[in-house]
Amino acid sequence: MMTGHFSISDLAKEFEISTRTLRFYEEKGLLTPQRRGSTRLFSAADRVRLKLILRGKRLGFSLQESREIIDLYEPETANARQLQLLLDKIQQKRELLENQKREIDAMLRDLKRTEASCLAALTADSDGKD
Amino acid sequence: MMTGHFSISDLAKEFEISTRTLRFYEEKGLLTPQRRGSTRLFSAADRVRLKLILRGKRLGFSLQESREIIDLYEPETANARQLQLLLDKIQQKRELLENQKREIDAMLRDLKRTEASCLAALTADSDGKD
DNA sequence: TATTACGTTTACGTTAACGTAAAGATAGAA
DNA sequence: TTCTATCTTTACGTTAACGTAAACGTAATA
């Protein structure tokens, strides 16, 4: 039935995770699905949060860290003092991410060097120099 | 004494990790220090490997993944067939890293948007509109 | 010589992020 | 109504990456 909501297995299939994982995320307060009786009903907002959690995972963030980042997106904090705090946190996360990018670039450079010497070795072989 | 080697605590201090961590990495075959008696002697090469391991950690790689990447750097594989395999692996890792970069950029864009609306809210407040 | 600093091995403990199994409720199809 | 699918809760198990403690060896220093 079209309810505008997702069942637990809907999301599990879509994102190729287990239902246990979804229940675990709720248990940890990362997702807060509604209930119809005892059955969980996930909203579009829950789905977005899930996307962010999984993206965080791919970047090597812990669930706690992902939660911190996700919480930054919620503009419930309409108070100015809180907003400044929010901006500070965003700045922190930005620096962390920029650092990650730099490390990735360093790794890519290293790989490129190794690749180059591999290719050199290969072409030397195909030159039939020996 | 200048031996051209590092003691376990030398490396522990330099990289701000525990000696347990270094022993653990050896146990897992990620580092292979020599021994003088029972005491570990780490070489400059060990130190480089350690750097790569820690960089991998910061990027959210498991020790197993870090090992795979590090192994790519070792040009012991002078055989052509092996070299081609090596190039394939490098390509795989490159794609993985490029993907990570894309995800980071996505995250940075999201943060930027949130930041923008925060700033908008703040300046609206300081306008004293209410 | 006794203490301090540093090294060793062995082994049990811990946290995160789930996996897996048991036992049961509910709703629609055969 | 019985079967099948899908949901629930509860709870013990598992892996990675170390932490922590015990018990010991060695070497320089007070």
∠ CA(B83), CA(B89), CA(B92), 5° rounding? 150
- Residue A39 sits in a domain whose CATH number is 1.10.1660.10
Q: Would B66 be classed as within a structural domain?
A: no
Between residues A55 and A118, which one has the greater pLDDT? A55
Q: Give the whole-angstrom CA distance, residue A86 versus residue B122.
A: 11
Nearest residue of A to residue B87, measured between CA atoms = A115
Does B1 lie in the same domain as B56?
yes
Please list every residue in chain A whose beta carbon sits closer than 8 Å to the beta carbon of residue B73: 110, 114
Distances (CA, A) of B47 to A99, B4, B53: 21, 12, 10
Residue with tokens 């039939």: A128
What is the extent of the structural domain holding B42?
1-61
Q: What percent of chain A has pLDDT over 70?
A: 81
In this predicted structure, the answer to whether residue A3 has a pLDDT above a threshold of 70 is: no
Q: Would B117 be classed as within a structural domain?
A: yes
Chain A: give the shortest CA distance to residue B39, in Å: 32
Please list every residue in chain A whose beta carbon sits closer than 8 Å to the beta carbon of residue B78: 121
User: pLDDT tens, position by position, for chain B (130 residues)?
Assistant: 445 789 999 999 999 999 999 999 999 999 999 999 999 999 999 999 999 999 889 888 899 988 988 887 776 655 655 666 666 777 777 788 888 888 888 888 888 887 888 788 777 655 543 4
Domain boundary among B38, B61, B84: B61
